Structures are given as structure tokens and as C-alpha cells.
Structure 1
Amino acid sequence: MTEQAWGEEFRTGNPELDERIRWTMADLVARVERTQGQLLQSEKMAAVGQLAAGVAHEINNPVGFVSSNLGSLELYVKRLFDLLTAYEALEQALPTDHPARIAVARARETAEIDYLRQDIPDLLRESGEGLARVKHIVNDLKNFSRNDEGEWQDADLNGGLASTLNVVWNELKYKAHVVRELGDLPPVRCIPAQINQVFMNLLVNAAQAIEGSGTITLRSGADDANAWVEIADTGKGMTPDVMERIFEPFYTTKPVGKGTGLGLSISAEIMKRHHGTLTVQSRIGEGSCFRLELPLVAAQPDENKESTP
């Protein structure tokens, strides 16, 4: 039933009461629409999680045999270089004008043996480092997509931030230099997948706020009551009016099609469920700093319940 139809059905003939009913119906319709949007976003995040888990699983197999082959290749290249060294010793025993020695010298020059001796180990090392990074990303994808929305755990916030940074690195690497100023944190009781979702939203927003290139600074620390994490950017910043509304569902300053306006509202809701806070400081032209705080010791009344963002 539409808002207008409800208004017609509950019309009383009292203009003041009818107006109150109309506004109540409008508020209810708006709340239903917001709830539908949040459910759609939750379903989308669940689908993304399933996709990430599937992708991680599919990548693991080729990464495994490529890693094994690369290790074998490194060993074989070493054997070939050792053999080449032995042949070079024999070459030196030949007279300088010997046809075989002259032919070997020409072949060495054509093949650029000295350059290959230096470059091949570098290529193998860089390939190994790249493969290690792929393994790390796959592991982070698996951790990020774990279906533990209802599991409260003692988590390492710095580790979760680093893991999420790897997951969204493609969004950041061409726009921002990331500075880490992370302090020592005690384990924090939370739902890691949900806190990682907050980190993801804040990191992506920080990158999108930067026009051209800039810096994203990650800080963390703890006091007697709370652990905190800050994600600051050198982006375009926000006006006070925008800051007052950024945690409202569906509010966005991004162009049409670039954002749903749900990321920060869901993040704020997650922090509320964790009895924590999410705040922001920002100035136009100077950037923004989002700070989340989680209690170190606090009762978790919803700990035994399923909880999804």
C-alpha cells in the first residue's frame, strides 16, 4: 500500500490529525525504504564475500604450482650457471687464437652472459616476491570473506587493518601514499569481519576523497578504556553541513552511480553494535580524519546473537 493510499484509508476529517497521520505515514515509508536499502547492501556484501572466497580458492591452485615451478627453476638456473663456470675454466686453458675459444667468445658476447648472470637472479627474486604478495592477498581475501559475522573474538585491530588494506590496495595504490603510525594494541573483543568492513569503507572513502594524489595516514593506540584507529586523508575535506549528515543512510556527495550513501551509515551502525564510536574531523582543502574507538572491557549483550551489518 502506498503512502497516498494509507492517507486516504486513515483520513479522519480532522485536518490537524490527518496531517499528523500523513507525516507519520511518510516517515514509515522512508524507514521501510532505508531498511530495504540496508538489506540490499548486506546481501551485496555477503555476495562479495562469497565471491572473494571463491576467487581465493580458485587462485590457490595455480599459485601453488607456479610457486613450486619457480623454486625448481631457481635450482636449475643455479646448476646451469655452475656448469657455465666449469666450461669457462676449460675455455681459459685454450690458446687465445684457438677457433673454439674464438667461437665461444662470440657466442658469449651474443648471449650477453655477464648481463644474464646478473639479471636472471633478479628476475627470479622479483617473481618470488610478486608470488608471495599474491599469496598474501589470497590469504587476506579468505580472512576477509570468512563467514564469522556472529562470532565475537579477541582480535588484533592492527592486523585487521593491514589485511583490509591489502584487499582494497588496488583502490589506493595509484592515488595515495600510505603512512603507518600504528601503536601497540591489546586484543579487542569484537566481530572481526564487521570491523574489517568499517576499515574497508573508510579506506575506500579516503582514496575517493583525494583528487589527484595524496596521503592516507593510519594511526592506532589505546588508553585505559578504549582502543582506537584513525584513518586520515589529505583529500578535499568536508563542510560542517556535510559532516553533520554523512552518517545518514543514503546521504552521499558522490556523483550519481558512484555511491549508495550506505557505507558510512552501516559503519556507524556496526560501531554502535560494538558499543564503540565513529567520529570525523574535517576541513575543506585539508582533508578528513575518521576515528573509531572500541571498548577494551565492556559487556556484549548481543554477543550470543547473530549479528549482521
Structure 2
Amino acid sequence: MVNYVLAAAARAQATAMLAELEAHIPGATQRLAHSALTELQTWPELTVRLVAEGQASARCSVAGTYDAGPPPQIAVAQSDSSARRDFTALHELGHHLQQNSFDLMAAFERQPDGGLLLEDAACDAFAAEILLPAPLVNSHLAESGPTAPDVVDLWQASGASRMAVCVKAVQRLRAPGHVLLLDTQGQVAFAASHGLRPLRRGSFQGDIPTIAQALAGQGRATGRTRLHYRDGILGQELYVQTAPMNGYLLAILVTDLAPWLTFAPPSRDTGPQASEYICEHCGEEYRSFEAACPTCRVPSCPACGRCGCPSRAAERMCPGCFTLHPPAMFADGADRCLDCF
């Protein structure tokens, strides 16, 4: 899915999540905004635990996990920041709401990956909506788009987590881009993306131009750069502005319409393009940026989860052509393969 379409779907899903939350637990939104972790620890239907940072899933955009159970459990990584813990708890609550509501799960049916990207993006949007009311956001982020100092100012004025303001900032971008939160070593602590391929939490960006300059100096830099994706792949060239954020580096990157510049024409798209595949097992046509299987050099199919390697246990010998075929080559109840009909 194109990521700007994903962002719009995530905001719509977050709105539906808030409505469902208030319908089932009136007043919960206000109490969660005051102290999400404290509020959730009082809910009898949920078990909420604080865990060491390393126990949190790297697959999520935050340092937390949700286990549907039964009983359902939320794990939140220990952090010096109560705001960060609250954002993580709300993100994981978003997974709980979506995985236990048929109405909310209906949105996943229209997604090519079964809704995995939408579910996680909607969790971020849901958490940000609770923690950052619109009037406060509007007073700090201009219609022309957020600058890095604007986002830092919003964070200081709101008391919300850095992650929450990153999500709000990326929603205000007027062009495809990213809002990144990097640690002092240049690793991505949190990434919110709009219209571009998302970056993984933990990926290293500390050696690319402008980011390296900001980390080596006072945290403030502007320029143009290309971000790292997996296997050394570089994305397209982006305009970038950074600002220090109390021990972290905030970076805003866009393809064009950079609000800190008077003229920022679109950058040439030299970024990675997803390869196309046809699954040999289920016939699904798909695109993928994921790491390929080291044996067959084909990434997993989002429909059936299998790569291009043959599964001997599932293959059948066709009595017509005496060839081993995967199950997809046989119609329901048929003895002969599709080529022999």
C-alpha cells in the first residue's frame, strides 16, 4: 500500500478506535490522557506489566508488546520517561482494541498484507490523539508543515512523549517524508513515516550526511541526505532539518515543500523499488522489501507466509503428467493438476 494512503486509513481507524473505547468505557479517554499506564493497571480484563527494555518486541514501532492471551497482556518497557511509558501503553491498548472488535478488524480485510501495517500505524495515531489535543497541536505546528524546532516546542509545551509529537508532526507533513527520533549514537529510537517506506526501529543512520553533522555538533543542521534501509540500500535524497530534543535528535525529512526553506523542489526519486513476485504455493502476486530467503532468494508471501522453497510434504504427484506440484496446482477434489485438465 502507498504509505500516504496508509496514513489516512490509520487516522480513520484511530477515530473508530476512540469511538469504540468511549462506547464501552465512558470517560476512559480523559483518564488515559492523564496517566495511561496507571489507568490501564486498574482494568480487570488486562494484565499490564513493566519489563526490561530488551524484552520488548523489535517488530513494533514502540518498546512494548501485546499478547491476546487469554488473558490479554500488555508489556511496557521500563523507561525513565513516564510520557514514553504512557505512549507505549496506549499503543499496545490499540492492538488490544483492534484484535477484539469485529468492527475494527473489518478494515484489515482491504489491506494486501492482512492489515499488519495498518494495525500498527493506527496504534500510533490512536495514542497521539489521546495525548495531544488538536488546539494545542494547532498552536505549535503551522499549516505550511512542521519544522524541527516547532516539534520540539510542542513536546515541551504538552508534556506528551517525544513519540507522540513525532506522530502528530508526520500527520502535518505536506509532502512524503519521515519524522525520526534518534539516540546519541544515531540509531532510530522511533520513526513515523508518510508516503515513504517506513524505517525500522533500531536501524543505524548516524553516518549519513546532515545527521552525522548534527550528532557531532549541537544537534542543529539542515541539508539533503539519503537514509539507510536494509542490506545497505539507500532511499531517495531528502531535505532534512534536525533539532536537539533533550538527549535525542529530532529529524524531519521530506521529498519537497520543506517548511524551513523558501524553495524546495521535488528531489529526484533514486530510492529503492520493491521487487515483484508470484507465490509458487498460493499464486498471490505481491511486492516486497523484506529480506529474501537465503536458499531460494524469494521473500515470504504476505498471503501464505511461505517463500519460494518447495515443500515436499505438501507436494503431490499428478498421475497425468507424473510431476510433483504444489497444492495450488490442484483444484479442490481434483486428482490431476491444472495443466492436465
TM-score category of the 2 structures, normalised to the smaller one: under 0.3
Instruction: Return the index of the structure with the highest Cα Rg.
Output: 1
Give the structure-2-normalised TM-score: 0.23
* Higher RCO (CA < 8 A, seq sep 6+): 1
Give the structure-1-normalised TM-score: 0.24
Higher helix share: 1
